[in-house]
Structure 1
Amino acid sequence: MRTVLVTGSAGFIGSHLCERLLADGHRVVGVDNFDPFYSQSIKEGNLAALRQHPHFRFCQADLRQGAAALQAALPAGFTYEAVVHLAAKAGVGPSLREPAAYMENNVLGTTHLLEWMRQQEVKTLVFASSSSVYGNTPRTPFREDESLLARSISPYAASKLAGEALTFTYHHLYQLSVLNARFFTVYGPRQRPDLAIHKFARLLRAGQPIPVYGDGSMARDYTFVADTVDGIVRGLEYLLAHPGAYETVNLGNSQPVPLLELVAAIGLAVGVAPVLQFQPAQAGDVDITYADNEKAARLLGYQPRTTLAEGLRQFVGWLDTQVAPAEPATLAPAGQAPVALTPRS
């Protein structure tokens, strides 16, 4: 039984990953600092089932406090075969308002984790990076060999690119085996409440208009959480089978969806006709994210399988357990699409 340390384990992706690792027969130690970006009660809900598993241990720790503090917080007597580092301050927009906090959490925190790994001689790391590092790269789909100098257009993107640079430094100096996994707009049950799909679905339930930033043509490569988690697990197995490896891969769906199409699909899944409220484009947002998955498919056997319609169906099914359904008068008849989108001035 391997023991895997998962940082950010109380989060959206982290809790799904912990469940998958446990199902695969691993022992998991989860770390989270309960950053107040969103409610701790949501994160406690993510952890509830995990805490009942005999092979899961959780500890609250803040990577900003250093390697020694992390070691002191961890349960005694464990030897770790690998780390999956998901902990970070996330989000493009908030990073424009708090750039220093993003550097402190995502860069300094990652440095402290890498130092802990060096000191404890843990040699295998999957690092959660982001499609944001590509910026407004003119070539699509995005390939891992794209030069990313002067591409970051948000502090969040810069912090993730800095994290990739740090993982290479520790690979070079201390023979750390690393997979930098660039995530592409992950969604699904337990998605953070600030993210578009979650926010739009709740607004529809409440009979509120959907804010559309820009002209609605902005496109994202929406990737269902189970597919992302499968890529992480495959990446972990790849590193354990290839000691000393250093690779960077995209974990996307390779099917960008324009914002207006996404809103229509959410409306169909929820059963509510969306009303749009157009607003100016947001600073720091890229025009499109679009993963070239060829490298991940070749190295890891990664193959996303969840369609947007199926992923939204699963998300809405989960959301129905979290919030009261919309009033019947706002719902489309069963099996019937909502009416056409209506702009609101």
Structure 2
Amino acid sequence: MYMQKSVLVTGSSGFIGSRLTEALRGKGYNIVEFDAKNGNDLLSYEDCRNASRNCFAVVHCAAILDEHSKALWKVNVLGTENIIKASSENKVERFIFLSTAGVYGNVKGIADENTEKRPATKYEKSKARAEEIVESYQELIHITILRPAIVLGPNEYWRKIVKQVKKGFPLIGSGKNKWHAVYVDDVVDAIIFCLENENTASETLNVAASDVLSLEQLVLEIKKCLGLEPKVRKIPVWLGKLIAHLYITFSSKPIVTPEHVERLVRNRHYSIKKIKKLGWKPKVSTKEAIERTIDGLKISFNK
């Protein structure tokens, strides 16, 4: 155990970072918070160098997810390069990079860590490139790259999805495609496991729930938690894309875009055999994760 040692957490006020910070403090770690909301800037090498000085480990959670953000590539790629370079300069022992299983793109079968990366979105491409940068430092610092599946938990992303399900928005496609997910607390647990186990150094690891639902099953489970009738309306993919293009044409704030449709209908199924072999396994099933997410959002059928 690495008690009383300093750990720098980037994105410390974010969805995962805030929970990680709380969990690490609970285990006795000294936490150095690094977040744009606190005035920290990943694009400033000086900020990165000052923050990582005297730290035992760095957990890099910070990222921009908004596909329309002009700063996405700079923050996700150049920001990652700054923080890993500064960590190396400051002789940080461990560096954990939170990537995404989205780097695999549309999966055929089940993706393990050796599956070819086929990122499709700007965010996924930025993460794939950032992985390459982190890997280039593996001779200088002990690195671990984590690729979480879709992260379930009470955040704005899932609030929007749950509200759309509640309103009866139709499902695009057959709904049979796998939508592998993982609960946010399991992601935090996996990060801490990697931080405290040296056998995870120089490894790239998928992080996901033990079970996997299809998109249709996931929507039905949300409906069940909301007390709604377990029925799903479906429309073909071509119609979903047409509707998305119409939204873009006639709305300044489209609720669905062609990119959303692409992400919705892709197959997402990931192997976690590697991380389980190293000694970690998820604690929360997908159904329980959905229940916790909706409870956390405080969304019910009557609201």
Q: Verify: 1:171 aligned to 2:138, yes or no.
A: yes
TM-score, normalised via structure 2 length: 0.83
Structure 2 gap segments, 5+ residues each: 242-257
Residue aligning to 1:145: 114
What amino acid is the match of 1:268?
K
Indicate the residue corresponding to 1:119 in structure 2: 89
Query: SS in structure 2 opposite 1:69?
Result: helix
- In the alignment, the residues of structure 2 paired with residue 296 and residue 275 of structure 1 have an alpha-carbon distance, to the nearest angstrom, of 35
For 1:40-79, what aligned pairs fall within 5 Å after superposition?
59-64=38-43, 66-71=44-49, 74=51, 79=54
Rounded Cα–Cα distance in structure 2 between residues aligned with 1:145 and 1:203: 35
Give, in whole Å, the separation in 2 of the partners of 1:85 and 1:131. Answer: 16
Equivalents in 1 of 2:218, 2:190: separation in Å? 24
Q: What residue number does 1:337 align with? A: none
Seq. identity, %: 28
Deviation of 1:219 after TM superposition, in Å, equals: 2.4
Corresponding residue to 1:107 among 69, 77, 81: 77
Separation of aligned partners in 1, 2:58 and 2:266: 33
CA gap of 1:254–1:290, structure 2 versus 1, over 3 A, is farther
Offset of residue 302 of structure 1: 1.3
Task: Give the one of 146, 150, 159 matched to 1:181.
Answer: 146
How far apart are residue 248 of structure 1 and its match? Answer: 0.3
Native 8 Å contact 1:252 1:290 kept in 2: no
For 1:101 and 1:212, the matched residues in 2 are separated by 32
CA distance in 1: counterparts of 2:150 and 2:233, whole angstroms = 22
Q: Is the contact between residue 171 and residue 233 of structure 2 (CA under 8 Å) also seen in structure 1?
A: yes
Matches within 5 A, 1:251-266: 251-266=207-222
CA distance in 2, matches of 1:137, 1:260: 17
Structure 1 unmatched ranges of 5 or more? 35-58, 329-345
Equivalent residue number for residue 288 of structure 2: 310
Structure 1, residues 121-156: CA drift from partner, whole Å, max 9, x if none?
A: 213111011111111242x321112233xx222221
Distance of aligned partners of 1:313 and 1:246 in 2 relative to their CA distance in 1, 3 Å threshold: same
Does structure 1 residue 83 correspond to structure 2 residue 58?
yes
Q: 1:236 to 1:26 in 2, by over 3 A?
A: same
- Contact 2:179 2:214 survives alignment (8 Å): yes
- Give the letter for the 1:202 counterpart: K
Provide Cα deviations, 1:39-86, integer angstroms capped at 9, x if missing partner: xxxxxxxxxxxxxxxxxxxx431202x2203345x49xx721101101
Q: Which residue of the partner structure matches residue 2 of structure 1?
A: 5
Give me the whole-angstrom Cα distance separating, in 1, the residues matched to 2:204 and 2:12: 22
2:284 matched to 1:319?
Answer: no
**1:183–1:251 CA contact under 8 A, matched in 2:** yes
Deviation at 1:218, TM superposition (A): 3.2
Whether 1:12 aligns to 2:7 is no
**Other-structure match for 2:240:** 280
Structure-1 separation of matches of 2:220 and 2:214? 10
The answer to whether the 8 Å contact 2:7/2:58 transfers is: yes
Find the counterpart in structure 2 of residue 25 from structure 1: 28
User: Which position in structure 2 is the counterpart of 1:223?
Assistant: 182
Partner of 2:122: 155
Alpha-carbon contact 1:253-1:291 (below 8 Å) kept: no
Question: Is contact 1:254-1:291 (8 Å) kept?
Answer: no
- Please state how far the C-alpha of 1:208 moved relative to its aligned partner: 2.0
Superposition deviation, residue 181 in structure 1? 0.3
Residues 212/26 of structure 1: CA separation in 2 closer, same or farther (3 Å cut): same
SS of the aligned residue for 2:89 comes to helix
Secondary structure at the counterpart of residue 138 of structure 2 = helix
In the TM superposition, residue 4 of structure 1 has moved relative to its aligned partner by: 0.7
SS at match of 2:21: helix
State the distance in 2 between where 1:261 and 1:137 align: 18
Aligned equivalents of 1:256, 1:83: Cα separation in 2 = 31
What letter corresponds to residue 153 of structure 1 in structure 2? A
Aligned to 2:202: 246
Q: Residues 269 and 137 (structure 1 numbering): CA distance in 2 closer, same or farther, change over 3 Å?
A: closer
Is the Cα contact below 8 Å between 2:211 and 2:285 reproduced in 1? no
Q: Which amino acid aligns with 1:255?
A: D
* Secondary structure in structure 2 of the residue aligned to 1:142: coil
Paired letter, 1:318 = G
Counterpart CA distance in 1 for 2:98 and 2:119 is 16
Alignment check: 8 A CA contact 1:200 1:210 kept? no
